[in-house]
Structure 1
Amino acid sequence: MIHELKEIINKAIINQEKGLKNVLASVVFLEGSSYRKPGVRMLIAEDLSSVGAVSGGCVEKEIIKRSESVFVDEKPKIITYDGRYRLGCEGVLYILIEPFFITTKFLKEFYKTTTAREPIKIESHFIKQDEAYGNFGSTVTFKNQQQFTFSDAFSINSKDEVDTITQVLQPAFRLIIIGGEHDAVKLCRIAANLGWEIDVITSAKDSKKLSDFPGANSVVGESPETIQFSDITENTAIVIMNHSYVQDLKYVIKLSEYNPKYIGILGTPKRRERLFNELFEFTPNISDEFLDNIYTPAGLHIGAQTPEEIAVSIIAEILAVIRKKEPFSLRKINGKIHTS
């Protein structure tokens, strides 16, 4: 996911400033099942500190140990990790370990792309062998077709026969929180831990500061009469928590012009009926599709009571809606958890 790559890049820059070399470990192929899937990465510094994870914890220790040769000779290699005997995951991981250096030109293009919320394509080239050396490595291609590698040891134009894994990282999931009270702060904090990009809209009469919402990307004071939304129809959820029915109604009317995929609103079932009735009065042409995207009371019914628990229930509902899943206990599954 893009937020994991961003964390890796930020840490790599810090390490480079300290004079430390970095290597990138990427899961490029999987035989059987594992805790995480191909495309996950971790960064290892020359002092053997690390950021990111490719599994649940045990794999990382061995990857760090086996990465030491790459620091010495700067030659990328492929290793395998058989989890069938150690993790109980019934899978064999193929892991690419490559030198990892961030140039100023790459960094500029990376942050330009993430700010514009554009996808990034990463291709990793490898072979399915253990402790194999060769012309292996990754390329990053941006929307403007600029392409970068992480190491001079890897040649894109080589004609060697290798396997390739292609991954398109979509922009970070975006959460818009409309409200400025303590429960909005809790929702912001927990969502930030998921790597979501969070924009907070508070009252124009009582605007808050960015420092009031740890993890937020922006905090602005606005009103439903003047607010203008952009790029909210895909990969975005909106949670309205004003604790003011009138303000909630005004924002929903405004959002009917955009039709986002998820609108969560705090409240009660009785409040929901009133909201829908008045929506028809103010916007008689409102679509059934828009109404279907309104979730109020917001959140899954998991017995949540505290602001933190309510935030968890709302985030769980957002994930279920966006990923088109009907929530139930995983103990009811007999086969694979992930089908793709």
Structure 2
Amino acid sequence: MLNIADTLYRWCREARPFALATVTRVSGSAPLPPGTSLAVGADGEAVGSISGGCVEGAVYELCQQVLTSGEPPIRASFGYSDDDAFAVGLTCGGELEVLVQRIEPADQPHLATALEEVLAGVPISVAQVIDGPQRLLGRALSVFRNGSTYEGTLGSQPTDRSVATRVRALLRAGRSGRVEVGGDTDTCPEKLTLLVHTHAAPPRMLIFGAVDFAAALSRAGRFLGYRVTVCDARPVFATPERFPHADEVVADWPHRYLERADVDARTVICVLTHDTKFDVPLLHTALELPVGYIGAMGSRRTHEDRLERLRETGVPAELLARLHSPIGLDLGAQTPEETAISITAEIIAHTNRGTGLPLSRVPGPIHRSVPVARVSSPAALLTV
């Protein structure tokens, strides 16, 4: 639902009922992930998409049905077969499950608060019941302020606390996923499956080296939704005017800045300086951090020399294996702009466990299912 937060927030503020269709499960080549929603207002206005156009017509009709009849939430499945492929339009070969429900903003006022936080860029999670007793289907609990508070109810305080504890772990990790609770008479006697929609703070892209390639990469990174920082030890080059697409431009020694930077598993680090006095101390620091991607620019000769210098500083082989160097995919890039595409393509492939090969050479589904976190306890995040 967070993909259409702006419209849903307006409808909630206006106290307008609407129907919400949410993808709860996908398999095969279904194009959009769980949590993606389509909504239909009382006047028939539709916003969002759940399949990139494949089954919107059928789901729109279900939304109108639920909205006008006031009937309980409906769960529907769409899949590919010779008989129904063209009937519903899901010709991509995938399967998806959808929960369609009527939302009365007055019944769940916390949703308006959660949507307002999303629009303000504040991290929040909304846990929506997608499997369980019919009376709870579609109910939601919103978790705010890094998990310190929550609003809404799933029927009882023990259940709410149990769910909030599990959602808190996902919110702090900036992840969406499924949460399963129940079977415990002390907390939640009824088994529930919830889909957790998380709006996380944007991931960080740290670019070191105030060069032309950094200008192009900062623009590409911002387009992909990263919060971009450009850092260089030379104040004359590290200026906001040279990097208008960066959220932050820092004049400092790269390794010194990185030592105090706030990073996490979604952070990507791109070292474009190819100067050993900057590269070696910077990469020595970076390779020990729990970040998602580390890449360094330079020729193969520069790469080998850099590896040797890092070994001399005591960096072990298992950490050196994390380094993507020379940075980027082999696209034949020549210009800074093409190089930026090469680098971001490698980041996307690494993040999503892609091969980096042309789709024409890769068998199997085009749209891969990204593993979702199934959290039974906060400690489970250590293993997912």
Normalising by structure 1, what TM-score? 0.72
Give the drift of 1:269: 0.6
Which position in structure 2 is the counterpart of 1:268? 299
C-alpha contact 1:125 1:138 (8 A) present in aligned 2: no
| Residue in structure 1 matched with residue 253 of structure 2 by the alignment | 223
The farther-off stretch of 306-315 and 330-339 is: 330-339
**Secondary structure of 2:337's match?**
helix
Matches within 5 A, 1:242-321: 242=273, 244=275, 246-256=277-287, 258=289, 260-281=291-312, 283=313, 285-321=314-350
| Range moving further from structure 2, 296-305 or 222-231 | 222-231
User: CA offsets per residue over residues 142-187 of structure 1, 9 Å max, x none?
Assistant: 55353335xxxxx621899896343374844332122334432332
Distance in 1 (alpha carbons) for counterparts of 2:27 and 2:210: 48
2:55 counterpart SS class: helix
Task: Tell me the CA shift for residue 239 of structure 1.
Answer: 0.5
Q: Mapping of 1:1-340 within 5 angstroms?
A: 5=2, 8-13=4-9, 24-30=20-26, 34-42=30-38, 48=45, 50-51=47-48, 53-64=49-60, 66-68=62-64, 77-78=73-74, 80=76, 82-84=78-80, 85=85, 86-88=89-91, 89-99=93-103, 102-104=111-113, 107=116, 114=123, 120=125, 122-125=127-130, 136-142=138-144, 143-144=146-147, 146-149=149-152, 156-157=154-155, 164-167=193-196, 169=198, 171=200, 172-202=202-232, 203-209=234-240, 212-214=243-245, 216-224=246-254, 226-227=256-257, 228-232=259-263, 234-242=265-273, 244=275, 246-256=277-287, 258=289, 260-281=291-312, 283=313, 285-336=314-365, 338=368, 340=371
Deviations 1:181-206, CA, capped at 9 Å, x for gaps: 44323323333333333333244333
Question: SS where residue 177 of structure 1 aligns?
Answer: strand
User: How far off its partner does 1:271 sit?
Assistant: 1.4
* % identical aligned pairs: 23
Q: Note if contact 2:231-2:254 (Cα within 8 Å) is conserved in structure 1.
A: no
Equivalent residues of 1:28, 1:124 under 8 A apart: no
Q: Provide closer, same or farther for how the CA distance between residues 67 and 252 of structure 1 changes in structure 2, counting only shifts above 3 A.
A: same
Q: Which runs of 5+ in 1 are unaligned?
A: 150-154
The CA distance in 2 between the partners of 1:32 and 1:226, in whole Å, is: 46
The CA deviation at 1:296 is 1.7
How far 1:292 sits from its partner (Å)? Answer: 1.5
In the alignment, the residues of structure 2 paired with residue 255 and residue 266 of structure 1 have an alpha-carbon distance, to the nearest angstrom, of 15
Report the more deviating stretch, 229-238 or 262-271: 229-238
Whether contact under 8 Å (1:98, 1:137) holds in the other structure is no
Residues 136 and 18 (structure 1), Cα distance of their counterparts in 2 relative to 1, 3 Å cut: closer
Deviation at 1:301, TM superposition (A): 1.4
1:197 maps to a residue whose letter is R
Contact 1:135 1:160 in 2 (8 A): no
- Over 3 Å counting, the alpha-carbon distance change for 1:212 and 1:238 in structure 2 is same
Shift of 1:236: 1.6
CA drift at 1:336: 4.5
Residue of structure 2 in register with 1:152 after alignment:
none
Structure 1: how far apart are the matches of 2:194 and 2:298? Answer: 46
- Assess, with a 3 A threshold, how the Cα gap between structure 1 residues 196 and 205 changes in structure 2: closer, same or farther: same
TM (norm. structure 2) is 0.65
Shift of 1:31: 7.5
Give the Å deviation of 1:323.
4.4
Deviation string 1:259-301 (CA, Å, 9 cap, x unpaired) is 64522112211111222233345x2x22223321222210111
Contact 1:28 1:96 in 2 (8 A): no
RMSD, aligned CA: 4.2
Unaligned stretches of 5+ residues in structure 2? 157-187, 372-384
Letter in 2 for 1:264: G
Between stretches 178-187 and 13-22, larger displacement belongs to: 13-22
SS in structure 1 opposite 2:236?
Answer: helix
Q: 1:230 deviation in Å?
A: 3.4
SS at match of 1:208: coil
Instruction: Tell me the CA shift for residue 36 of structure 1.
Output: 2.7
